[in-house]
Amino acid sequence: MNALLVRVDSRLVHGQVVAGWLPRLRARRIVVADDVVARDPRRVEIFRLAIPREVSFEASSVVAAGEAASRDPARPPIVLFSTVSDAARAHAAGFRFEALNVGNVHAGVGCREITGAVHLADVDLRALGALASAGVAIDFRSVPGDALGDARLVLALATMERRRS
């Protein structure tokens, strides 16, 4: 797959993506892979308005993420998922990506804080573990300038904590 960045971010398109990742990667396309957004013309239009005019935008279903991402090989996209489970589902459906950036995942019931901006439930940890076992490199960064820590250590510590609970 030829994506510049594959990212999990509960907010999808927002300042960190538009002001941080877009210019750093010189991306000219964004693909939001989210079943709800893909069916909601109002949300699609809101996201279009949030990005620079010269950047193209597409919303697709999760299982069609790979097809949407590869639609314009001359302009590899940033692909955004709202959940870890969606990224894992897209991977299982054939969207092969080498790395997954987990940038922001809101806290919820049963979630534990992984970083200040990332809160994961057991199902998310299992999905990330499966992706890592499939050879996907996982990182936890909100913006490009954040330190690139060892996600394997973070996942191992979170898994150990889960077992103690």
**Domains plus CATH for the chain?**
5-164 (3.40.35.10)
Helices 122-133 and 151-164 cross at an angle (nearest 10°) of 140
| Residue 150 clears pLDDT 70, i.e. is over it | no
More confident residue, 155 or 10: 10
| Residue 7 clears pLDDT 90, i.e. is over it | yes
- Which pLDDT band, with edges at 50, 70 and 90, does 8 fall under? very high
With a CB cutoff of 8 Å and minimum separation 6, the contacts of 36 are 43
- Which pLDDT band, with edges at 50, 70 and 90, does 153 fall under? low
Q: Which amino acid is at 61?
A: S
Can you give the pLDDT at residue 165?
59
Q: Which amino acid is at 98?
A: E
What separation, in Å, do the N-terminal and C-terminal C-alpha atoms of the chain show? 38
With a CB cutoff of 8 Å and minimum separation 6, the contacts of 158 are 112, 114, 120, 125
Can you give the pLDDT at residue 114?
83
Average pLDDT, the chain: 91
As a whole number, mean pLDDT of residues 2-20 equals: 95
In contact, 69 and 1? CB cutoff 8 Å: yes
As a whole number, mean pLDDT of residues 7-14 equals: 96
- Which pLDDT band, with edges at 50, 70 and 90, does 22 fall under? very high
Can you give the pLDDT at residue 1?
57
Render pLDDT for 27-82 as a digit per residue (tens, 0 to 9): 999 999 999 999 999 999 999 999 999 999 999 999 999 999 999 999 999 999 99
| Residue 129 clears pLDDT 60, i.e. is over it | yes
| Residue 160 clears pLDDT 70, i.e. is over it | no
